[in-house]
């Protein structure tokens, strides 16, 4: 039930999201070995959750390894993959399900075996991201033939100024009570706290959308009774590509109060409370 509500309330990854990763993989793989073509054979979705990212990967890769630290998440992912309208015997055998942490991925899979490893919304939760990067580096194909993609998105932001002034603080307050410090600190730096040593990683690109008006974290500068502290940036300026994009249409959703309630229930599992009245009043005024 939780994951059903989660998928209904969270952004739907568009084709452009995956195509950007695939295009990068194709160009980086080719540049590392111009005589060979990039391969799209084996992908990993780590910290898979409900399985929607792995399902999207299966349209491009003949085999997708799905991993998570919670067996219930793997069960949910398997159900999604087998019950999806497009599922058949061929597609369901594309998936392998493994109960493991990202830090231990290399103990379950051969070295230099993966074309792509993707982490969506998971990396900020890791207690030891450096250990995870070492493990993923081992599993990826070497010399630029393997690609690691790490992504994160933040709390919904009201784009209309009047709604933003009145309703955003209410939504922020709900989200803050569902947060904790390690993740708060990590996303405050927009994942720039992750270090990719030059001797191990090549062609590192960091893309950030809407940093000028939105924040990546689900919480404000105070969360859970502690002050959010921004970690040291590990960006190797001049050696890594950093791209800033302003696009207010990115993953935009036009919500009514019912859809906003659905999102908040995914955070809190409780009642909507005050923010519902605020949203209804604003919508009442506008038509």
Structure confidence at residue 281 (pLDDT):
30
Structure confidence at residue 91 (pLDDT):
65
Q: What is the third-level CATH fold of 2-151? A: Rossmann fold (3.40.50)
Give this prediction's pTM: 0.71
The rounded percent of the chain whose pLDDT value lies above 90 is 41
Please say if the pLDDT value at position 29 is more than 50.
Answer: yes
Six token digits for residue 203: 């062609």
Please indicate whether residue 84 or residue 169 has the higher confidence score (pLDDT): 169
pLDDT digits (tens, 9 = 90+) for 38-49: 899 999 999 998
Please indicate whether residue 278 or residue 196 has the higher confidence score (pLDDT): 196
Please say if the pLDDT value at position 7 is more than 70.
Answer: no
Six token digits for residue 223: 């969360």
Please tell me the distance from the alpha carbon of residue 112 to that of residue 138, in angstroms, as a whole number. Answer: 6
Structure confidence at residue 51 (pLDDT):
92
Domain boundary assignment for the chain: 2-151
Structure confidence at residue 141 (pLDDT):
94
Structure confidence at residue 10 (pLDDT):
75
CA distances (Å), origin 232, targets 187, 196, 206, 229: 12, 14, 16, 10
Count of positions (residues) in the chain: 287
Residue 180 pLDDT level (bands cut at 50, 70, 90):
low
> Would strands 116-120 and 147-151 be described as parallel, antiparallel, or unpaired?
parallel
pLDDT digits (tens, 9 = 90+) for 198-212: 889 989 999 988 888
Mean pLDDT across the chain: 81
pLDDT digits (tens, 9 = 90+) for 85-105: 776 665 667 999 999 999 999
Structure confidence at residue 87 (pLDDT):
66
Residue 277 pLDDT level (bands cut at 50, 70, 90):
very low
Closest CA to 277 of 254, 247, 263, 257: 257
Structure confidence at residue 168 (pLDDT):
86
> Would strands 63-68 and 147-151 be described as parallel, antiparallel, or unpaired?
unpaired
**Mean of the pLDDT values across residues 46-75?**
95
Q: DSSP letters of 113-128?
A: -BSEEEEES-GGG-S-
């Amino acid at each position: 039930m939780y994951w059903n509500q989660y998928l209904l309330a969270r952004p739907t990854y568009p084709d452009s999201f995956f195509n950007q990763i695939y295009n990068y993989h194709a160009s980086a793989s080719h540049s590392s070995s111009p005589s060979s073509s990039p391969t799209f054979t084996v992908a990993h979705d780590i910290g898979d959750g409900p399985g929607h990212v792995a399902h999207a990967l299966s349209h491009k890769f003949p085999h997708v390894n799905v991993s998570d630290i919670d067996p219930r998440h793997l069960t949910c992912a398997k159900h999604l993959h087998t019950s999806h309208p497009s599922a058949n015997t061929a597609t369901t055998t594309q998936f392998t399900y493994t109960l493991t942490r990202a830090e231990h991925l290399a103990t379950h899979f051969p070295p230099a075996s993966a074309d792509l490893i993707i982490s969506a919304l998971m990396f900020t939760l890791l207690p030891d991201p450096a250990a995870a990067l070492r493990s993923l580096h081992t599993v990826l194909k070497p010399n630029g033939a393997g690609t690691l993609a790490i992504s994160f998105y933040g709390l919904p932001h009201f784009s209309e100024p009047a709604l933003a002034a009145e309703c955003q603080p209410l939504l922020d307050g709900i989200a803050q009570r569902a947060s904790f410090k390690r993740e708060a600190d990590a996303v405050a730096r927009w994942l720039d706290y992750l270090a990719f040593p030059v001797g191990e990683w090549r062609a590192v690109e960091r893309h950030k959308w809407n940093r000028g008006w939105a924040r990546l974290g689900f919480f404000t500068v105070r969360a859970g009774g502690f002050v959010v502290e921004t970690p040291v940036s590990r960006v190797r300026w001049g050696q890594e590509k950093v791209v800033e994009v302003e696009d207010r249409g990115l993953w935009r959703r036009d919500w009514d109060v019912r859809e906003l309630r659905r999102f908040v229930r995914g955070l809190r599992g409780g009642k909507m409370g005050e923010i519902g009245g605020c949203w209804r009043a604003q919508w009442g005024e506008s038509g």
